[in-house]
Each structure stands twice: as structure tokens, then as C-alpha cells.
Amino acid sequence: MVIDTRVCVGCSACVYACKQENNVPEGYCRDWVVQESGGEYPKLTMENRSERCQHCENAPCVTYCPTRASHYAEDGTVQINRSLCTGCKACMAACPYDARYVHPEGYVDKCSLCKHRIEQGLETACVSICPTGSLNLVDFNNMDEKTKELLKGKIVYRQKEHAGTEPSLQWISASNKPGA
């Protein structure tokens, strides 16, 4: 995904849409919104971000899962096989992005990148509802012109790159100047 924080207003429509789509139990969520402000009055800055599992290419959750419940799917996303999951939380300790929670039914759960929707040719629930168009589903191996244009000349970052996880979420920084 490419997440354009320049336009995100932190409304959380992505969170509610995900909760409905994936029947996430009350009190839990698979994606969440961060509002970060900095600077000194009156020169303040703000970034709003919709965050979720980063579907890392080198995912510590997969490495540390003792039962192989956490695994790479054929499309490159990180998925959880619930029937293999014992709820031991090794993956939760390993994940640098705090993307996972223990479902009340005992297994660990997280963003599946709406695998069931992608398979039907649909976008994820969060991408499809987002009123600002902040969320963009992107195939980084086969990037279309629109995405190239979106990223061109912008400050783009990945989170906690030093952890070596090779995350698949890229963020267009809110610090980009207008028209950058």
C-alpha cells in the first residue's frame, strides 16, 4: 500500500469499515489511526496515518511463529492459519509494528489485506471506503503509471526500516510542500 498522509484527516472510516468487513470483535481493531503533532507554537506540524500490518517481506512474525500459523501467502502477504495458531503470542512480541491482537476465540488476528476481497478482484475494505483517497493499493512489483505519478518527487518513507523487516507499506510524508 501507498498511504498518502498529506490528505488523511484521521477520520477512522478505514477502521470502522475493516471492523464490519472482517467482523472484528468489539474492543479490537486490525487497523488504527495515528495523529502525530510536533513543532513549537505557532509553528506546529501534523501527520495523520492509517496504520496496519505492514506485510513485511522479511516478517519476524513468520520467523518466530513456532507452529507455522503465520506464513507468507502466494501473493506475498503475511497471513495467519487460525487452525495452527495456539495463541502463544511469540509473533506479537516479534512484530515491531504492534499490528496483532489475540482474538477472544484464542487465535492471533491481524490485517489480512482483505485477502477474500482481493481474490474477488475488489480493493480492501479500508481502501474502498477512504473518503480522502489516502489509501492506495499498489503492486510494487508491477507499479502502474498513476502510482508512479503519485510518488514522483515526494518525500516517501517506510517505518522502522532499521529493523530489516522490508515492510510493504510506504508513506507519503505530510511534510511534502504543496505541489511537490
Residue 77 to residue 54: CA distance in whole angstroms: 9
Is residue 9 part of the contact set for another protein (CB under 8 A)? yes
Q: 63 in helix, strand or coil? A: helix
Is residue 101 part of the contact set for another protein (CB under 8 A)? no
CB of 35 to another protein, least distance (A): 8
Is residue 1 part of the contact set for another protein (CB under 8 A)? no
Is residue 133 part of the contact set for another protein (CB under 8 A)? yes
Query: The dihedral of CA 122, 124, 126, 130: what is its sign?
Result: negative
Is residue 26 part of the contact set for another protein (CB under 8 A)? yes
| 96: preceding bond cis by omega (within 30 degrees) | no
Nearer to another protein, 36 or 75 (CB): 36
Q: Are 159 and 43 in contact (CB under 8 A)?
A: no
Nearer to another protein, 38 or 164 (CB): 38
Choices 12-20, 49-57, 71-79, 110-118 (CB under 8 A): range interacting with another protein? 12-20
Of 45, 58, 63, 86, which lies in the binding site for another protein, with binding defined by CB under 8 A? 45
Of 81, 96, 115, 128, which lies in the binding site for another protein, with binding defined by CB under 8 A? 128
Is residue 7 part of the contact set for another protein (CB under 8 A)? yes
Short-list 98, 85, 95, 79, CA closest to 29 = 98
Nearer to another protein, 113 or 126 (CB): 126
How far are the Cα atoms of 57, 84, 146 from residue 31, in angstroms, in the given order?
19, 23, 25
Of 21, 96, 118, 173, which lies in the binding site for another protein, with binding defined by CB under 8 A? 21
Residue 16 to residue 129: CA distance in whole angstroms: 10
Q: Are 97 and 160 in contact (CB under 8 A)?
A: yes
